[in-house]
Amino acid sequence: MTTIIDGNEVADQIQSEVSTCVDTLRDDGVTPGLATVLMSDDGASETYVSMKQRTCEELGIESFHHEIDPDEPAEVLFDRIDELNEDPAVHGILVQMPVPDHVEKRAVLERIDPVKDVDGFHPENVGKLVAGNARYKPCTPHGVQKMLAAYDIETEGRDAVVVGRSDIVGKPMANLFIQRDDGGNATTTVCHSRTDDLAAKTREADILVAAAGVPEMIDGEMVGEGATVVDVGINRVDADNEKGYELVGDVDFESAKEKASAITPVPGGVGPLTIAMLMYNTVKGASLQSGVPVDLP
Ligand code: NAD
């Protein structure tokens, strides 16, 4: 029997523990605050930001939303980030990607005070993660780790294969897997668009993480018997329904399920964990900045 991993259930559990930490902070006069900044007309980005705001509200985290017209010059965004860096009510700053082409993404990430960089993308935080001294683990790969732990799926000594080498998923996922830490100690292979014979690599995986952004590219033929398959992909594909699209992962769920011992669905797999870990990081930020200790899971 293949275990279908329930990301909503794991996320709910984490959020309830994070909510207890919010209460601890609030009892000490600290209300955790997350600022979201959207500089885009992209529908998916708007949806992600509103989901993040809604979860903040549910957990008692204050959310401050800022929208900047995508036609404005980059300086408008940078000035806004500077203000948020200075604002003591804001413990976490998230600039929703993508930003417009005339705004240099790297400059945006470097502008955010690393202590408020709850995405964990500032070079200082990337460095700390790689050095094994993470301040903020990036939300999606951290969520994958929590999900594996919740299902008692051991990483130590096992072969993990990550498909994708992006700065937000693939690279930090690999970095977490190789740490001498819980959820790490895995022998880790990173595959990408230039990998020769991808299937030969993926079939070797005990834990296969798909984060390529290519709809259903990993099928059952590419999955080893008994592997754990984690599908990070969220891809909009045309569909004959009211919205005109549906969401599919990077994994062909039906064929991969035949081989896997455990697998995440899309939706309802990794997605909810990403938001839960953003809340986690925001509370961690509030604790670090206020000096009020919390007991995060
Ligand atoms: P990206 O486009 O930045 O990176 C994709 C990576 O996949 C690249 O490193 C590329 O080398 C690799 N790749 C592309 N095609 C490949 C192929 N045919 N074979 C092997 N490797 C290939 O994407 P990203 O931001 O890392 O996101 C990946 C997917 O995860 C997207 O579908 C995205 O929407 C989704 N995502 C989901 C969450 C979540 O919360 N579940 C969070 C972030 C991203």
Place of tokens 């990993």: 218
Closest residue to atom 42 of ligand 1, CA basis: 140
Provide the residue ranges of all domains of the chain, joining segments of one domain with +. 29-116, 139-271
pLDDT value of position 249: 98
Rounded to the nearest angstrom, the distance between the alpha carbon of 169 and the centre of ligand 1 is 7
How far is CA 231 from each of CA 91, 170, 206, rounded to the nearest angstrom? 30, 12, 14
> What's the order of all strands across the beta sheet hosting 207-210?
3-4, 262-263, 228-231, 207-210, 159-163, 187-191
This prediction's pTM: 0.97
pLDDT value of position 9: 98
pLDDT value of position 41: 94
Describe the crossing of helices 270-290 and 139-150 by its angle, rounded to 10 degrees. 110
The Cα–Cα gap between 243 and 257 comes to 27
The Cα–Cα gap between 168 and 233 comes to 12
| 234 labeled binding residue | yes
Residue type, 155: T
The Cα–Cα gap between 233 and 64 comes to 28
Closest residue to atom 34 of ligand 1, CA basis: 234
Instruction: Give ipTM to 2 decimals.
Output: 0.98
Could you list the active site residues? 52, 96, 119
Query: Residue 224: how many CB atoms within 10 A of its CB?
Result: 17
67-114 pLDDT tens trace? 999 999 999 999 999 999 999 999 999 999 999 999 999 999 999 999
CATH number of 29-116: 3.40.50.10860
| 127 labeled binding residue | no
Peptide bond into 98 cis (omega under 30): yes
**Pure H helices in the chain:** 7-27, 43-59, 74-86, 105-111, 123-130, 139-150, 170-178, 198-202, 253-259, 270-290
pLDDT value of position 165: 98
The Cα–Cα gap between 135 and 144 comes to 17
Asked whether the domain spanning 139-271 has the same topology as the one spanning 29-116, the reply is yes
Secondary element (H or E) of residue 262: strand 262-263
pLDDT value of position 225: 98
Single out the residue of 206, 155, 207, 158 nearest to residue 181, CA to CA: 155
The finding on whether 166 has its CB within 6 A of some atom of ligand 1 is: yes
Q: From 162, 166, 195, 197, give the residue whose CB has the most ligand 1 atoms within 8 Å, as the site to mutate.
A: 166
51 falls in which pLDDT band (50, 70, 90)? very high
Hey, what CATH topology would domain 139-271 get?
Rossmann fold (3.40.50)
Strands 245-248 and 235-238: antiparallel
pLDDT averaged over every residue in the chain: 97
Contacts of 133 (CB under 8 A, 6+ apart): none
pLDDT value of position 71: 98
Q: In the numeric block, which tokens belong to residue 120?
A: 């964990």
The Cα–Cα gap between 90 and 82 comes to 12
Rounded to the nearest angstrom, the distance between the alpha carbon of 262 and the centre of ligand 1 is 21
197-256 pLDDT tens trace? 999 999 999 999 999 999 999 999 999 999 999 999 999 999 999 999 999 999 999 999
Is the separation of the CB atoms in 292 and 25 below 8 Å? yes
178: three-class secondary structure by DSSP: helix
The Cα–Cα gap between 172 and 146 comes to 14
